[in-house]
Amino acid sequence: MKTILVTGGTGFIGSNLCIRLVREGSRVLCVDNNYTGSLDNIAEIAEDPNFQFILHDICEPLQIEEKIDQIYNLACPASPPAYQGKYAIRTTKTCVLGALNMLELAKKNNAVILQASTSEVYGDSLVHPQGESYRGNVNPIGVRACYDEGKRCAESLFFDYHRQEGVAIKVVRIFNTYGPKMNPNDGRVVSNFICQALLGKDITIYGDGLQTRSFCYLDDTVELIIRIMNSERSFTGPVNTGNPGEFTVKELAEQVLAKVQTSSKIVYKDLPADDPCKRCPDISLAMEKFGWKPTVKLSEGLDKTIEYFKTRIQEYRG
Ligand code: UDP
C-alpha cells in the first residue's frame, strides 16, 4: 500500500483527490491549515482507517514518522479574492516556503513530489492557446503576482531540487477547474454565477465579459494529475491540464441563466487589474503522453455543479 501525502487536502481539488486515493486503496495523509479549506470536504473519509488529517501550515517544516511514497503539493489560496486580498503575503509564503518544506520532505523520503502549478504562470498570455513552452507575460508587481510569481518560483524550486538533489518531480499546470466541493464564497466566476442565479441576485460580469476561460470539470483534472504522478520517475513535465473548450465569461453567464430558473439579471462591474484576456490550454502533451482528454462538457459539468451548490446555497455571502 502506498502512503501518499496531500497538502491542501481539505481544499477543492485536494479533498476530491484524497477521497479518490483512499477509495483506490492508498493510505492518505491530508495536510491543511484549513485557512481556505474545510473539514466538511473530507467528512466522507474522515473515519477511514487509511486516512489521517494533519492540521499543519506548510510554511513550517513538517515531520512525518512513517515513510512517504508520494507527495501532492496542492496547498495554496487559489481564489482571486483570497489571494488578492487578506492572503496576499501568505500566498507567496505558501508557494515558496511550502514548496521548500515539501521538497525537503520528498528528498528525505525519496518520494515522488507533484506540484500543482497553474495557468497563471502564463499571465496575460501573448500566445494562444498556451503550450508548456510559453514563458508567460506576468506583471511582477501587480495584485496577481503573489500567486503567479509564487507558483513560478515554486516551479523553479522544483526543477532545482530535481537537478541539484535528484528529487523526482512532476509539475502540472492546472487551468480553471470547477465542480463539487468548490466553496460557494470562493469568488471565482463559476461559483459566483451559479450562487447568484440560484438566489435571484445580479450576475456580476467583470469588464465587458468578452475575456475567455476554458473550464475543466474536476474529475477530468484529478484523473490527469494522478496519471502524471504515476508516470515514469524521470518524467518531470510541466504538463498543462485543462479543457480546451473556450468560452467568454458572458457565454458562461448565459449558460448558467439558461439552466437555473431565476429572475437574475446580468450587471457589469469593473475588470480586476491584470485579469488575463484570453486563456485556453494546449493539451497536446497530456493527450499524446497520457492518452488523456477531458470527458465532461461544460454543460454537463455545470449541471452537476449547480446541483452541488443547491446543497450549500445558504452559505453564500456574495
Ligand atoms: N469574473 C466575473 N465575475 C465574477 C467573478 C469573475 O466576470 O463574479 C471574471 C474574472 O474577471 C475573470 C473570469 O471571470 O475574467 C474568471 O475569473 P476567476 O476568478 O474564476 O478565475 P481566474 O481569473 O483566476 O481565471
Contacts of 292 (CB under 8 A, 6+ apart): 223, 224, 227, 283, 286
Provide the phi-psi class of 80: left if phi over 0, else alpha when psi is between -120 and 50, else beta. Answer: alpha
With cut-offs at 50, 70 and 90, classify the pLDDT of residue 23: very high
Pick from 139, 151, 174, 188 the residue to mutate for probing ligand 1's pocket: most ligand atoms within 8 Å of its CB. 188
Question: Largest Cα–Cα distance of the chain, in whole Å?
Answer: 58
Phi then psi for residue 51, to 5 deg, are: -120, 135
| pLDDT value at 52 more than 90 | yes
Of 267, 264, 248, the C-alpha closest to 194 is: 264
Beta-carbon neighbour count of residue 258 at 10 Å? 10
In DSSP terms, 72 is beta-bridged to 6, 114
CA of 114 to the centre of ligand 1 (A): 26
Residue from 11, 54, 16 nearest 226 by CA: 16
Which entry of 72, 147, 178, 316 is annotated as an active-site residue? 147
For 157, the grid coordinates are 524550486
pLDDT of residue 314: 96
Cβ(118) to ligand 1 under 6 A? Answer: no
Which residue type does 188 have?
Answer: R
What per-residue confidence (pLDDT) applies to 41? 98
| Distance from Cα 153 to the centre of ligand 1, integer Å | 24
User: Is pLDDT of 9 > 90?
Assistant: yes
The whole-chain average pLDDT of the chain stands at 97
pLDDT digits (tens, 9 = 90+) for 214-237: 999 999 999 999 999 999 999 999
98 C-alpha vs ligand 1 centroid, how far in Å?
26
- The model carries a pTM of 0.97
Q: Is 268 a catalytic residue?
A: no
Question: Is the CB–ligand 1 distance for residue 204 below 6 Å?
Answer: yes
- Give the whole-number percent of the chain exceeding pLDDT 70: 100
Cα separations in angstroms, 302 against 195, 248, 249: 12, 15, 14
Q: How far is the CA of 266 from the centre of ligand 1 (A)?
A: 14
What confidence score (pLDDT) does residue 108 get? Answer: 98
Is ligand 1 within 6 A of the CB of residue 205? yes
Q: Residue 317's pLDDT is what?
A: 93
pLDDT tens, position by position, 63-88: 999 999 999 999 999 999 889 999 99
Residue 59 pLDDT greater than 90, yes or no: yes
Is the separation of the CB atoms in 6 and 51 below 8 Å? no
Q: Is the distance from CB of 203 to CB of 266 less than 8 angstroms? A: yes
Looking at the CA of residue 279, tell me the nearest atom of ligand 1: 25
Over 90: is that where the pLDDT of 318 sits? Answer: no
Ligand 1 atom at shortest distance from the alpha carbon of 211: 15
Quick check: CB of 212 below 6 Å from ligand 1? no
pLDDT at 102: 98
Cell of 227: 496519471
Residue of the nearest CA to atom 25 in ligand 1?
176
User: How far apart are the C-alpha atoms of 163 and 18, rounded to whole Å?
Assistant: 29
* Rounded average pLDDT over 176-205: 97
- What pLDDT does 214 receive? 97
Instruction: Calculate mean pLDDT across residues 275-298.
Output: 98
Could you tell me if the CB of 214 is within 6 A of ligand 1?
Answer: no
Task: Using alpha carbons, select from 82, 100, 103, 102 the residue that is nearest to residue 91.
Answer: 82
> b/e string for 28-65 if b means 16 or more Cβ within 10 A?
bbbbbbeebbeeebbeebeeeebbbbeebbbbeebebe
Nearest atom (ligand 1) to Cα of 209 = 7
Write the CB contacts of 290 (distance below 8 Å, at least 6 apart in sequence).
224, 227, 228, 231, 239
The Å distance, Cα 38 to ligand 1 centre, comes to 22
Residues 91, 47: Cα–Cα separation, whole Å: 31
Ligand 1 atom nearest to CA at 196: 8
Strand segments, DSSP code E, in 133-248 are 169-174, 177-178, 203-206, 212-214, 216-217, 239-241, 246-248
Which residue's CA is minimally distant from atom 12 of ligand 1?
275
Q: How far is the CA of 93 from the centre of ligand 1 (A)?
A: 24
C-alpha distance from residue 134 to each of 65, 124, 211, 303 (Å): 40, 12, 20, 33
pLDDT in tens, 96-152: 999 999 999 999 999 999 999 999 999 999 999 999 999 999 999 999 999 999 999
Mutate to test the pocket of ligand 1, among 36, 122, 213 (most ligand atoms within 8 A of CB): 213
Ligand 1 lined by 16 (C-beta under 6 Å): no
Name the residue at shortest CA distance from atom 4 of ligand 1. 189
